[in-house]
Homo-oligomer: A and B are copies of this chain.
Amino acid sequence: MSPYDPSAFPPFAVTVDLVVLTVRRHSLCALAVRRGEAPFQGRWALPGGFVRADEDLAMAAARELEEETGLSAHDPGTPAPDPGNGAHLEQLATYGDPKRDPRMRVVSVAHLALAPDLPAPKAGGDAHSARWAPVETFLEPEDEETGALAFDHAQILADGVERARSKIEYSSLATAFCPPEFTVGELRRVYEAVWGVALDPRNFHRKVTGTPGFLVPTGGTTTRQGGRPAQLFRAGGATLLNPPMLRPEV
């Protein structure tokens, strides 16, 4: 066989699908859009679309993210250039089962985006309906109507959630769910929402403030959570946490 014969190859469509996660009201939420056409018409799905002919995969994902949410994306490597409305974006995995789309052979390169809770709902470039809902709504749907994502999107979402849950253990990625300036308590509530556990506020405080490069104080304080004023922090330069945050068992 000739492994690189350019003349004879089966044609594929390539799409990007997005797992967009945020933390709202103490729970981890994902963005879903309602499908306007067959197949799976009327069902909820992950946002996504075709990769264009001249476009890199990361570019396509960033474009789709911007179209759906108004968020600009920044690469994992570089710190947020636009802290106001930037989101973390990284490639997740690729899904290529021959039967995953009933119409044709589609390979989808899924991406994972993590965003702070958006003050503006969704900047709808398109007029289609979209919503944030707790990930359990889609992963353990009680009702086909409100849950049960189209295609293999439930699997993609599950993989994205798992990636987020494990990656905040050993990286500073949890700050991607926070506004540009945030308190230690707000960061702790992100961990609690993503992991679905309760953490000791005292030990958490010592841990994150004691990890060099994780948080840098801005000098300001806030009382937006009530109680004693809390120091405000920005995300520091460190991306890898050593030692990691420990996710409680059970």
Task: Write the residues of chain A forming the contact surface with B, with a CB cutoff of 8 angstroms.
Answer: 1-6, 9-14, 35, 37, 47-57, 67, 91, 93-98, 103-105, 107, 109, 126
Contacts and interface: CB of A to CB of B under 8 A. Distances in A.
Nearest to A53: B10
A37 B6 CA distance: 11
Counting chain B CB atoms within 10 Å of each CB, the highest count among A3, A14, A50, A96 belongs to A3
Given A3-B48, A14-B96, A57-B95, 13 more contacts: A3-B49, A4-B35, A5-B50, A6-B103, A6-B104, A9-B50, A10-B50, A10-B51, A10-B53, A14-B107, A51-B96, A53-B98, A91-B93
A54 B12 CA distance: 11
A48 B4 CA distance: 8
B94 A109 contact: yes
Contacts of A91: 93-94
Contacts of A12: 11-14, 51, 107
Contacts of A126: 1
A227 to B, nearest CB: 35
Nearest to A2: B37
Contact of A96 (B6, B56, B105): B56
A1 B12 CA distance: 20
A194 to B, nearest CB: 18
A231 B56 CA distance: 51
A55 B98 contact: yes
Contact of A11 (B11, B47, B49, B96): B11
A5 to B, nearest CB: 8
11 contacts: A4-B35, A4-B37, A6-B104, A9-B50, A11-B11, A12-B51, A54-B98, A55-B98, A57-B96, A107-B107, A107-B109
A57 B107 CA distance: 9
B96 A4 contact: no
Nearest to A97: B56
Contacts of A1: 49, 67, 126
